[in-house]
Amino acid sequence: MKTYLLYGAKDIRLDEKSTPEPGAGQVLLAPKFTGICGSDVHYYQHGYCGRFVPKRPFALGHEFSGVICGMGPDVQGLSVGDEVVVDPSMPCGSCRHCRSGQYNLCQAMKYFGSASCDPHIDGSLAQYVTAPAANCHILPAGISLSQAALLEPLCVAMHAVRQAKEIAGASVLITGGGPIGQLILRVVRAFGALKVAVSDVDEFARAFALKSGADAVINPLEEGAWKSCDGYDVVFEASGVPSALANGLEMAHRGGSVVLVGTLPETFPIPGNLIMNRQLQVLGSFRFANVFEKALAMVAAGIINLDGIVTATYGFAEVPQAMQRALSKDRVIKVQVAS
């Protein structure tokens, strides 16, 4: 089969590999849509993502839907031809985090298309991929394969929103209007946020947020941009930019919460004293747990709308172009690869 492997920074190559065999409890999938994530862009741009440094070339792709085309022994409830979306989390199930229900914090987590585990798990930028049947969710009526491939980032957004104390009736600032920021906007709207603002340096992202229901947008590069804002109960940092976090901390109300979901640099200065004297709750949010089925049901029920999030689609032959486009941030929210 054909697969794209990441060899290093800006070096992603189409390679030939043997088609994987589904083991017990596994299915063989032909991926149909793969979303390019901010983390994929980090891998593509630098050859690594934060602390996750690849030890060998591997296939990216963890936001994916596909069609089942083979099954190993002991698979129930799925058939060849089913259209499914895959939850990419494969926690160990036995460490203390797994046992306490916080399996996103599993020390031995296996995740599709990630170098966070060793051996790395190849992702969906390939003609075929094997997946545990338990991770495959049949698409409910009315959800397309392309929309289904947005479930993983939607779950990241929902998990981040769950970290904040209270969204109903709250004023919310989202720093960063990329896919996660835009999805957080839709989730907090669904959860009853009173007013929502989105800040981004990119005009397209700001206009997109306004169209998607933001009450206000802020260009942090504009002088006095924050003057007319009177602060927020909850801030989501979804840009990964240190100055955006600083703005978020500055704009948080006393006693407010600031949720960090963007991939930030390892170290940088922050206005730390603000956290103390405003008694801010600074919270991290990593991947997600216990939310995939709910997110899928909420989309199917029309409570969360994914329309328009995919702004560019590339063919399987154009994976390097898709990466480049996502990296360029040129008039895009989510880039997908269609196979």
Instruction: List residues binding Zn ion (CB under 5 A).
Output: 37, 91-92, 95, 98, 106
Three-state DSSP class for 71?
strand
Three-state DSSP class for 57?
coil
> Please, what is the minimum distance in Å from the beta carbon of residue 42 to Zn ion?
11
> Please, what is the minimum distance in Å from the beta carbon of residue 96 to Zn ion?
8
Judged by beta carbon, residue 71 or residue 90, the one nearer Zn ion is 90
In 3D space, the residue among 262, 30, 298 whose CA is nearest the CA of residue 142 turns out to be 298
> Please, what is the minimum distance in Å from the beta carbon of residue 249 to Zn ion?
25
Asked if residues 280 and 259 have their Cβ atoms less than 8 Å apart, the reply is no
Judged by beta carbon, residue 37 or residue 75, the one nearer Zn ion is 37
Using CA atoms, how far apart are residues 45 and 49, in angstroms rounded to an integer?
A: 9
Judged by beta carbon, residue 106 or residue 304, the one nearer Zn ion is 106
Judged by beta carbon, residue 37 or residue 214, the one nearer Zn ion is 37
Asked if residues 42 and 50 have their Cβ atoms less than 8 Å apart, the reply is yes
Judged by beta carbon, residue 45 or residue 281, the one nearer Zn ion is 45
167-181 in b/e form (b: 16+ CB < 10 A) is: beebbbbbbbbbbbb
Q: Identify the helix (H) or strand (E) that includes residue 3.
A: strand 2-8
Q: What letter would DSSP give residue 290?
A: S
Judged by beta carbon, residue 102 or residue 130, the one nearer Zn ion is 102
> Please, what is the minimum distance in Å from the beta carbon of residue 77 to Zn ion?
24
> Please, what is the minimum distance in Å from the beta carbon of residue 122 to Zn ion?
16
> Please, what is the minimum distance in Å from the beta carbon of residue 273 to Zn ion?
33
**Cis peptide preceding 88, ω within 30 of 0:** no
